[in-house]
Amino acid sequence: MAYVSSQGTKRTIQIDPVDFLEEGIDEFLQSGAKPVKLASAVVKLMAATELLLKEELERICPALVLDKVDDDGLQVAKAFGLAKELINPKQLESVELKTAPFPKLLNRATKFIDLKEARPSLEKLYKIRNALVSSLRPGRSGSQSIADQGGPSLTRITNPRQQKI
């Protein structure tokens, strides 16, 4: 389930990763020979995986999900809710917290969670998702080979909206 909250002009959407996981599994089971459903299932499963990984890392330490930590430490202050501790808490208003990309999150998670058996499959899922998403970008050709990604036995996922007529 997604939750939307507003603070001034800024909206925050919180998504339960289990919902993505359930939807991804449902779409995968119903996809049959429908490449668009299969592609959607892969994207949702990867999103759920990434959100679950972030949740686990955040439980250990919220700073583990940050892509970079600035020299002033304001990102850490924002991540840990330390505004009250700052001399000038307004500084946090302009600080954006950017989370780390999946490969970096996965690498960090392996320091705290035993993912030896799952890691190769998670890396393949990430590569397949990226291949699918990049094939859907405007200006790209209408199909994407996923054979090189170590993916399923499908050779191409096609985006019919981008095929040349």
The CA angle 135-140-146, to the nearest 5 degrees, is 30
Summarised one tens digit per residue, pLDDT across range 6-61 is 667 767 777 778 888 898 999 999 988 888 899 999 999 999 999 999 999 999 99
The pLDDT of residue 125 is 94
Q: Which residues contact 138 (CB under 8 A, 6 or more apart)?
A: 162
Summarised one tens digit per residue, pLDDT across range 93-118 is 989 888 999 999 999 999 999 999 99
Domain count, the chain: 1
Residue 159 clears pLDDT 90, i.e. is over it? no
| Average per-residue pLDDT for the chain | 80
User: Tokens standing for 138?
Assistant: 């405007």
The pLDDT of residue 20 is 82
Residue 140 clears pLDDT 80, i.e. is over it? no
Residue 68 clears pLDDT 80, i.e. is over it? yes
pLDDT band at residue 155, thresholds of 50, 70 and 90?
very low
Summarised one tens digit per residue, pLDDT across range 70-90 is 888 898 898 888 999 999 999
* Domain span holding position 29: 2-162
Surface-to-core class of residue 35, CB atoms within 10 Å of its CB (0-12 exposed, 13-18 middle, 19+ buried): middle
CB 64 within 8 A of CB 55: no
List the one residue out of 99, 2, 7, 5 whose CA is nearest residue 53. Answer: 99
Query: Model pTM?
Result: 0.69
